[in-house]
Structure 1
């Protein structure tokens, strides 16, 4: 079953390593240098105002400064559609978070509030047109009244625009996990997808962190593959746990697609097709732990033929 990008992005951006790459690659160098990534905490993204109205943001992180003197909060919201009043929504989230922090600081005997960075990650196709600052939402005809309009800015990462920028510059952030996420979500060419998926699988962070690897596997299976594959079968892909299994299966699908597309234009080559199917089946037997039934489904060979290849 396909699920929304927003839901799986919440899973990915709840991983400390992904947030570290987000800050180092896409926020200002000064912010990156001031933070101590060993002291991160994902906090509740639900608020209840004094009027008992409940609000939900997507992901909130508490990050500690290197000297430990002050914290910084990062509020992340995921959008697949344009919201003209997004700045107002982000103001609501940061205001409610600040009210929550006031109560905590009073209990701790302190009055200082931590800075809050509001960040919107937009995954839609149309260029983002929403106001970035709440001040842009007010109709002020008298310049003297402008100072009375509340100002709250948020950082916008338009996924499509980010990838276009990365493709056009020398500093392409090829080792940045968030850049890899954006690229895999944007590209549609199979060769390019397999290239960047290979980079993701080989990434040192994913090699070292089981939880991170599982989160990426879920994202690939549930959000990306239904878009990539013309004939997506959830029963086939759901049991895959490792990224390498997803990669091998996708590579096999690619080979089959190429072979069968060519043979659609060249009748009478059934024998050649069978040989190609057998070659792909042998590769899957060597590179994966797939059952005979699953390999038979992929290659359109019989289970008996697959069993015979094991011996």
Structure 2
């Protein structure tokens, strides 16, 4: 399931419009204004080594910068959990990319390597706490050795934190709309944001991206928001994002009670997960995480009672 969700995000950001909106909306640096965003081009990431290919796919972009053909390469990595060593992974990806550019002789006119913007897009809870620079992960040793420390930083875009710090409800672009949809807590806001996405993507040439948003809504949003099963089936049959918006406008108010109950279940599952982790450790709990996520109120209560006497985590989840 996690791989399917990850692939859905990568499908969305396989469209230049999404990468353009990400840069102009969330990279608040002067050099972005000098980019010719019409030249955005996806690069084949076949240079990625086998040992990291499973967790890093082909979302590498380049774009013309200024008057010269100087490229800025964007490495996009999507995360729903915090990886304390993400800075090391991103450093490895950048190094592999540079090795490939050297091998293909894709350098600047001066023979230099092009700049790289590594981006980590995080949509999980809690807020991101891992180091964004590999330098911060290396033990400091005095006496001169510190001058050889590796330093490479990535740009972190923590969706939840971005939205928490907002002072305006005005939508900026499609990436901002994606963030708002993911963290929507209000039914009317959901309808409003989705209506804006439909409007922005109504042109025939946006058909592919409109379809990608539809798939994202089905595979990611519906699963996270605990939509009632009959309505989920109807939305799964929808052929267009506009059709989904019309369904939501008719039905979303009826989901309020359902979401309240789902919220109580989610809170109960999280509390039980913390108790299990405290007693048996996080690695043991990971094996049963999918059962915690799918459990109903009766099952959570049963497991909580078993936990009081259980000596192993298997005793908690033993089938009756």
Normalised by the length of structure 1, the TM-score is: 0.74
How far residue 196 of structure 1 moved from its aligned partner, in angstroms, is 1.5
Whether 1:243 aligns to 2:241 is yes
User: How big is the shift at 1:146?
Assistant: 2.2
Cα–Cα, structure 1 residues 175 and 127, in superposed 2: closer, same or farther, change >3 Å? Answer: closer
Q: 1:194 aligns with which of 187, 191, 194?
A: 191
Structure 2, unaligned runs of 5 or more: 260-320
Task: Give the whole-Å Cα distance in 1 for the aligned partners of 2:202 and 2:66.
Answer: 25
Q: Indicate the residue corresponding to 1:64 in structure 2.
A: 64
The secondary structure found in structure 2 opposite 1:199 is helix
Which consecutive aligned stretches of 4+ in structure 1 deviate over 4 angstroms post-superposition?
A: 1-4, 106-110, 255-261
User: Counterpart in 2 of 1:179?
Assistant: 176
Deviates more, 1:246-255 or 1:145-154: 246-255
Instruction: Name 2:268's counterpart in structure 1.
Output: none
Shift of 1:86: 0.2
**Quick one: structure 1 residues 210 and 196, their matched pair in 2 at CA, closer, same or farther if it must change by over 3 Å?**
same
CA distance in 2, matches of 1:130, 1:68: 36
The superposition leaves residues 167-196 of structure 1 with CA deviations (integer Å, 9 ceiling, x where unpaired) of xx24x5613111111010011321221121
User: Contact 2:228–2:258 at 8 Å: present in 1 too?
Assistant: no
Match of 2:99 in 1: 99
Q: 1:54 to 1:157 in 2, by over 3 A?
A: closer
Count of aligned residue pairs for this structure pair: 255
Corresponding residue number in structure 2 for 1:140? 140
2:26 corresponding residue in structure 1: 26
Structure 1 residue 201: Cα displacement: 1.6
Tell me if structure 2 keeps the 8 A contact 1:225–1:232.
Answer: no
Q: 1:232 to 1:226 in 2, by over 3 A?
A: farther
The secondary structure found in structure 2 opposite 1:47 is coil
Shift of 1:48: 4.6
Q: Which structure: larger Rg?
A: 1
Please give the per-residue CA displacement for 1:265-288, whole angstroms capped at 9, x wherever unaligned. Answer: xxxxxxxxxxxxxxxxxxxxxxxx
- 1:107 CA displacement: 9.8
Q: Following TM superposition, by how much is the alpha carbon of 1:243 offset from its aligned partner in structure 2, in angstroms?
A: 1.1
CA distance in 2, matches of 1:259, 1:129: 33
Q: Distance in 2 between matches of 1:106 and 1:253?
A: 53
Counterpart CA distance in 1 for 2:2 and 2:109 is 48
Task: For 1:70-149, list aligned pairs within 5 A.
Answer: 70-105=70-105, 111-142=111-142, 144-149=144-149
Choose which of 222, 225, 229 in structure 2 pairs with 1:228. Answer: 225
Summarize the Cα distance change of 1:255–1:26 in structure 2 as closer, same or farther, 3 Å threshold.
closer
- Is 1:215 the counterpart of 2:175? The answer is no
8 Å Cα contact 1:2/1:226 also seen in 2: no
Please say if residues 9 and 78 of structure 1, whose CA atoms lie closer than 8 Å, have aligned partners that are also in contact.
Answer: yes
Which consecutive residues of structure 1, in runs of 5 or more, have no partner in the other structure?
262-311
Could you tell me whether the CA contact under 8 Å between 1:57 and 1:75 is conserved in 2?
Answer: no
Question: 1:46–1:54: 8 Å Cα contact kept in structure 2?
Answer: no
- TM (norm. structure 2) is 0.72
